Structure 1
Amino acid sequence: MPSLPQSDIEARLSELEHKLLARDKTIDALKRRLAQQDEGMRNSPFALLEQNISLANVVARKTGELEQERQALQKTLGELRQTQTQLLQSQKMESIGQLAAGIAHEINTPTQYVADNMSFIDMATTSLLALADRSVAVIAALRAGDSDPALLADFDATLRRTKLDYLRRQIPDALAQSKEGLEHIARIVSAMKAFSHPSGVDKVAVDIREVIATTVTVARSEWKYVAEIETQVDDDLPDLPCRRDLIGQALLNLVVNAAHAIAETLSEGVRDKGLIRITATRFGDRHIDLSVADDGPGIPPDIRERIFEPFFTTKPVGKGTGQGLAMVYTTVVDQHGGEILCESDVGRGTRFTMRLPLCIDNDEAASCR
C-alpha cells in the first residue's frame, strides 16, 4: 500500500469505522422491521409466514453481505494501521535526516582534535625514542669506561630538542582530550542507534531518563548554539509503559521547536542564549508529565487552536512541514491515551506537557485520563 499522509490515514480510519457502524445499524433496522411485521400481521398467519420468510431471506442475505464487508473493512483497517506505523517511522527517519548535518559536525569536531592529538603524540613519541636511544648509547659508553665528550654533547642537544618538560605537561592533556572526544563520539553513535531503532507495537516499560538523555544528545546540534538545556527528573519516577521510539520522536520535536523559537529572539540581538528546561514528574498516581519549556517569544493567542493541525506552520516555506506538533498529538493522544497541554505567554515563552498514563493497555489508559 502506498504511503499516505498522517491526516489521510486518520480520515480513512474514521470513514471505515463509520461504515462498520452503519452496517450494524442496518442489521438492527431489519430486525426491528421483522419484529414490527410480526406484531402487525397476527390476524393473517399465511401473510405473516410469507413476509417472515421474505424478511428472513433479506436479513440472511444482508447479513452475509455485511459480514463480507466487515471482514474487508477490518483487513483495510489493519493495513492502514500498519501504514500509519510505517509513516511514523518514516517521519522519525526524516527528522534524523534533517539533523544529519549537525550530527556529522558533532562527530567531526572531536574526530578532528583526536586526529590532531594523535599527530602530536606521534611526534612526541619519535622525539622521546630518539632521546631514549641517545640515553642508551651514553649509558653503554659509561659502562665501558668511555666518557666520549661528543657522545655527551649529542645527548645534550637531543635533550634540548625534545623539550622534555613541555612533553610531560602536554602528553597527558592530549590523551585525556582524545579519550573525552572518543567517548563523545561513542555517546552520539549510541544515541543515534537507540533513537533510530523502531520499537514494537506493544508498550514496554521505559526509563524516561534514558529517553531524555538520548534525545538531548541527538538534538544537540539544534540547541547548543542558541540555548542551554536543563533537565529535572523526579527521583522516584517509575518506568513509563510506552512505545519508546514514538515518545522519543515526540520529545525531539518539542526540543527542536523550542530551539527554533528561542533562535527567533536571538536574531533580534536581545541575548546570546536562551534556556530549554525538560522535566519529568509524577502527576497524581496514574500519570507522568513530560514537559519541554522554553523562554522564546511564545505563541500568539490567535493561532493556539491550530498548532496541532497537520501541515499548519508559521515557518517560511522550506523551513517547516507542520507535522511536528501533529505527530506529538497523535503519539500522546491516539497512541498512548494521554493528553497534550500547551501553556504560552507571549514574550515570555511556551511550555508543552505530554501527560502520559502509567497503564499498559488502551482500556486502562482511557480510564487513567
Structure 2
Amino acid sequence: MSKILVVEDDSATRLLLKRDLQLEGYEVAVAKNGEEGLEKALNLRPALILCDWMMPLMDGVEVCRRLKATPDLASTFFILLTARDSVADRVQGLDAGADDFVSKPIESNELLARVRAGLRVYQYQQQLSETNQQLSQTLQELQQTQAQLVQSEKMSSLGQMVAGIAHAINNPIAFISGNLAHTRNSIADLLNLIHLYQRHYHNPVSEIQLALENIDWEFLSEDLPKSLELMSSGANRIRDLVVKLKSFSRLDEAEIKQVDIHEGIDNTLLLLEHRLSKNSSDNLSTNDSLILDSGLPILDDSESSLQTSNFNDGTNPKSNYDAKIKVIKEYGYLPIVECYPAQLNQVFFNILNNAIDYLEEENGEAPTPSIWIRTRLLDGNWVEIAIANNGSGMTPNIIQQIFNPFFTTKPVGKGTGLGLAIAYSIVVDKHKGLLECRSSKGEGTEFLIKIPTHQQV
C-alpha cells in the first residue's frame, strides 16, 4: 500500500483529498501547514506528496525545495496544487523540484490519474535505484574477484619461483656443506703433517725454506682454518635462507595448519631485507645483522640475518650493517595459531612492502625511517599483529578507500591497488578476522591485524 502525504491549510479541501485517496486504497496522512508537512515527510517517508502552493509561513514551493534537498526524500514524487496557471509560475515550481501540477479547483478523476502516474514513476525510480545498487555491488564483487585472481596468480608464481630457487640452491649447498667437513679434516691432517716435519727436521733444504717464506707459512697455517670456518658459516647461512624461503612459500604444506606467527613475520622480513638495508647483504659476514630493537620478550633466531637486540636506552651496538629503514620487533607471547599460513604471509608481505614504499618516497623526511611490528594475545582466543611506520600519515579520505580494489596513491606504473585489498580479503573473509588502518597526517600509519587462534572450517 503506497503512502501519500497531503499538505493543505484548508481543512475542507484536506478532508476531501484524504477521503478520495483512501477510497482508492492508499495510506494517507495529512498536514495543515508546510512545517508540519516537512516533519511528517521525514517520519513517514511517503511515496507521493500532494502540497498546496499558497500557505502561510511556508508555501508549497519552499516545502518542495527543502524536501528535494533532503537525500532520503529526494525521490518522493511531488505534486503542487495550485490555481496559478501562468508559464512563469509553472517554471518556478519546476525549478523548485516539483514533478507535476494539479489545478484548482481540483477535479477528482484528474487528481487520481496524476497520483497513479506519479506512483508509477516513483516505483520505477525505486526499482532503478535497487538495480543500480545491485549492479554496483556486483561490480565491486567482480573487482574483488579480479583482484584476488590477479594477486593469487602473482603470489602463486612468487611462491613457485621461491620454492624453485630454494630447491635449486639446496642441492649444491648440501654438496658444499658435506664436503667442507671432509676438507677441514684433510687440511688439518696436512697442517699437522707439516708441523711434524718442522718439529723433526729443523734444517730443511734451501728450496723448501724459500717456498715457506714465499707462501708466508705462519700466516697461512693460522688463516686457512679460519677461512674454512667462514665458508662453513656462509654455507650454513645459505642453508638457513633456503629453509626460510621454503617456509615462506609453503607450497608443500597443507593449506590450513598450526604455525608460529613470528616465524612467518621473520621469513617475510628476510625476503624484504634487501629493501631495508643501504648495502647489499651479499658481502656481509655471518656476524653482520640488521639491528632490531625490542622492548618486550621475543623469539630469537641467532642464525637469522634479521636478528633482534634489546636496548631500552635507544642506542644500538656498533655494527658494519648500515640499515636504511630500522625495524623494531616487539614480540609478545603468542600460542601456535591455526591459519592459512601462505596467505597470511602474503598479508605481512603486502603491508610491509607498502610501508617501505612510503618511507622511501618521503626521501628521509622522518628523522629515522622506522617500522614497528608488535604482537600480543587478546582474550586467549585472538592474536593481534600491529605493523606501524613513522611516515607522514594519510588523510581520512584516503583511509576510507585504502582497502578498495585498484585504489592506490602511488604514481602510474608503481602500484596496482591490489595489495591491501587482497590483504583485507585474506584477513576478513578467509580468517574471519579484522584488518584496520589507523593514521593521521604527521602521525604515521598503523595496520592492526586480528585473527582467531582457531579457524572454523
Per the TM alignment, residue 304 of structure 1 is displaced from its structure 2 partner at its CA by: 0.8
Structure 2 match to 1:315? 410
Structure 2 match to 1:12? none
- The aligned runs of 1:80-95 (5 Å cut-off) are 89-93=152-156
Task: Please say if residues 151 and 418 of structure 2, whose CA atoms lie closer than 8 Å, have aligned partners that are also in contact.
Answer: no
Task: Please say if residues 230 and 277 of structure 1, whose CA atoms lie closer than 8 Å, have aligned partners that are also in contact.
Answer: yes
Give the fraction of aligned pairs with identical amino acids, expressed as a percent: 26
Aligned-partner SS, 2:213: helix
Structure 1 spans left out of the alignment, 5+ residues: 1-80, 363-369
Matched, 1:230 2:328: yes
Aligned-partner SS, 1:343: strand
Answer 1 or 2: higher relative contact order, Cα 8 Å, separation at least 6: 1
Matched, 1:180 2:233: yes
Partner amino acid for 2:243? S
- Distance in 2 (CA, whole Å) between partners of 1:92 and 1:178 is 33
Aligned-partner SS, 2:258: strand
Which one has the bigger helix percentage?
1
- Distance in 2 (CA, whole Å) between partners of 1:320 and 1:95 is 17
Residue-by-residue CA offset, 1:252-300 (whole Å, 9 max, x unaligned): 11111111121123x25665x5222222211222210012111222223
- Distance in 2 (CA, whole Å) between partners of 1:98 and 1:264 is 28
Matched, 1:240 2:337: yes
Structure 1 match to 2:205? 152
Structure 1 match to 2:17? none
Partner amino acid for 2:325? A
- The aligned runs of 1:10-89 (5 Å cut-off) are 89=152
Structure 2 match to 1:30? none
Q: TM-score, normalised by structure 2?
A: 0.47
- Distance in 2 (CA, whole Å) between partners of 1:229 and 1:305 is 27
Structure 2 match to 1:218? 271
Task: Please say if residues 134 and 155 of structure 1, whose CA atoms lie closer than 8 Å, have aligned partners that are also in contact.
Answer: no
- The aligned runs of 1:184-203 (5 Å cut-off) are 184-198=237-251, 203=256
Change (3 A) 1:199 1:312: farther
What is the aligned counterpart of 1:340 among 435, 440, 454?
Answer: 435
Aligned-partner SS, 1:288: strand
Change (3 A) 1:326 1:179: same
- Distance in 2 (CA, whole Å) between partners of 1:305 and 1:218 is 30
Change (3 A) 1:298 1:168: farther
Structure 2 match to 1:209? 262
Partner amino acid for 1:309? N
Structure whose CA Rg is larger: 2
Matched, 1:351 2:446: yes
- Distance in 2 (CA, whole Å) between partners of 1:275 and 1:293 is 8
Change (3 A) 1:258 1:199: farther
What is the aligned counterpart of 1:263 among 360, 364, 376?
Answer: 360
Per the TM alignment, residue 208 of structure 1 is displaced from its structure 2 partner at its CA by: 0.9
Partner amino acid for 1:335? K
Per the TM alignment, residue 234 of structure 1 is displaced from its structure 2 partner at its CA by: 1.9
Task: Please say if residues 431 and 455 of structure 2, whose CA atoms lie closer than 8 Å, have aligned partners that are also in contact.
Answer: no
Partner amino acid for 2:153? S
Q: TM-score, normalised by structure 1?
A: 0.58
